[in-house]
Amino acid sequence: MNNQNQSNSLAVISEKYKNCNLLLPASTEIQLNPFYKYTVMEVQADIKENSGDVFKVGSTKQGNSYVDLFSPAKPLLMKLASAAGIQFDPNNTYGEYLTKNCYKAKAYGAMRMPDGTGKTHCDEKVINLDDEEDRFRLEFMDKSLQGINDEKQAQEAAKLFKGKWIDSQNKWGKPCKAYVIDDVDRQKYIDRGVLVNMTLLRKTFAEKAMTGAILRVVRALIGMKGQYTLDELKKPFAIPRVTFSPDYSDPAVRAAMMEQGMSSVSNMFGSSHPMPALTAPNDGITGTIDTFNPEEFEDNAAFASDYQENPAEDFATSEHEEPQGQSYQQSPNTPVNNKNNEALDMSHCVMCGTNISEKVAKFSMDKFKQPLCMNCQKEAL
C-alpha cells in the first residue's frame, strides 16, 4: 500500500512539473521500528552523450565484440552522495598550497549505514603543475610520432602542422585514420599542445584537486565501481539508508516525544511543579478545577506572604474590640472543639471535606483556628 501511494504521489508530482527539470530520486520506505525507517533511494543516470553524468573511458571485449565502458562524472556522483546522505566535515575538508605549483586537497565524509552505524572516509588529491607539464609533453610527443588517433584532434593538427594520414588503431583497438606530424613541425606541435593544456590547468587545478578528493570519498563510502557498461548504467542506482522517522501513531512514541519536549523546555526555562487537576466539591457541578498542591512545597510558611500579617483583624467586630468566643492568643497546638465538644478531624477540611495534609492542617490552625483546605482558606480571606 505504501509503495502504491508513493508511486501515485510521484506520478502526480511528475505531471505537475513536467515542464521542469525535476531532481527527485525515487525512494521506497519501510518502518523498521517506532523510531527508525529504512529508505532505499533510487538515482537514474542520464546516459545521453552530452548529459555530463558519465564519460567514456575505454572498451572491453565481450565475446567477439567490444563493449564501451563509462565512468560516473561529478554530477552523477554528487546526486548519489545526496541520496546516500553523505555529509562532509567543513573543518577537515579543505585545500592548501604546498608550493606555488602544487596544491593538496583533503576531504572527510561520513554517512549512516543501513544498520544505523556510521561510516567515515578521508581521502586527498594532490596536483603538481610541474608533473602535469611533464606528462603533457610526453603525451604530445607520442602522438606526434605514432599518429594522432582522435578524429577531432587530428583534424585540428592537420590545419596547423605539416604531416600525413596513415591507417592506425585507436586506444580501444578499433581501426581509424591517424595524422602523423612531420619532423619539421613536431617540436612546434609539442610546445603548443603543452602550452594550451597547462594554461587551462593553471586556472582550475586547485578546484580540480578538491573535486577529486570529494569524489574519491563518495566512491569509497557508497562502494561504487570505477567503470560501467551502458547496460549497467540503464539500471537505477539503489542506495539504502536508515533515517530517524518516529511513528507518531504509536502511543509509546507520542509519550516519549512529549517527555523529550518537556525536558527541553525545562532545560531552557527551568523546572516547574505541575498544576494537578483536582475533583471539584460535590456541589452539583461536575468537572475538574486547577489548584495548587501544597504538598509540592517543602515549607508551607511561604504561603504566609499571601495573607495579611494579622488575620485576627479580618474577624474583628470593630476596630477596637476582639471577636467574641475563643481568644487568638491560645496555643496554636490547642485543638478547637466543635459544637459537640469533640476533637476536630485534622485530616479533612471542616467546610468541604477535602483530604488535607498535616502541614496544611497546621498552617490552617495557626491562621484560622480550624482545619481548612487551600481553597477554603482563600475563601475565608
**Are the CB atoms for 209 and 103 separated by under 8 Å?**
yes
Residue 375's closest CA among 290, 295, 301? Answer: 290
pLDDT higher than threshold 90 for residue 11? no
Helix (H, G, I), strand (E, B) or coil at 134: helix
Strands 36-43 and 54-62, by their bridges, are: unpaired
Q: What is the pLDDT of residue 159?
A: 92
Q: What is the pLDDT of residue 258?
A: 77
Question: pLDDT of 66-98, one tens digit each?
Answer: 888 899 999 999 999 988 889 999 999 999 999
Phi, psi of 324 (to 5 degrees): -70, 155
Nine-digit cell string for 2:
505504501
Q: What is the pLDDT of residue 188?
A: 94
Q: What is the pLDDT of residue 308?
A: 43
Q: What is the pLDDT of residue 268?
A: 58
**Are the CB atoms for 111 and 118 separated by under 8 Å?**
yes
* pTM (2 d.p.): 0.55
d(CA 182, CA 206): 36
Helix (H) or strand (E) holding 81, with range, is helix 74-84
Residue 54: Cβ-neighbour burial (10 angstroms; 0-12, 13-18, 19+): buried
d(CA 105, CA 344): 86
Helix (H, G, I), strand (E, B) or coil at 245: coil
The mean per-residue pLDDT over the stretch 139-163 comes to 91
Phi, psi of 89 (to 5 degrees): -75, 115
Strands 102-112 and 288-290, by their bridges, are: unpaired
Residue 49: Cβ-neighbour burial (10 angstroms; 0-12, 13-18, 19+): exposed
Residue 362's closest CA among 322, 304, 279, 316? Answer: 304
For helices 183-222 and 151-160, what crossing angle results, to 10°?
150
CA dihedral sign of residues 248, 250, 255, 293 = positive
Q: What is the pLDDT of residue 27?
A: 60
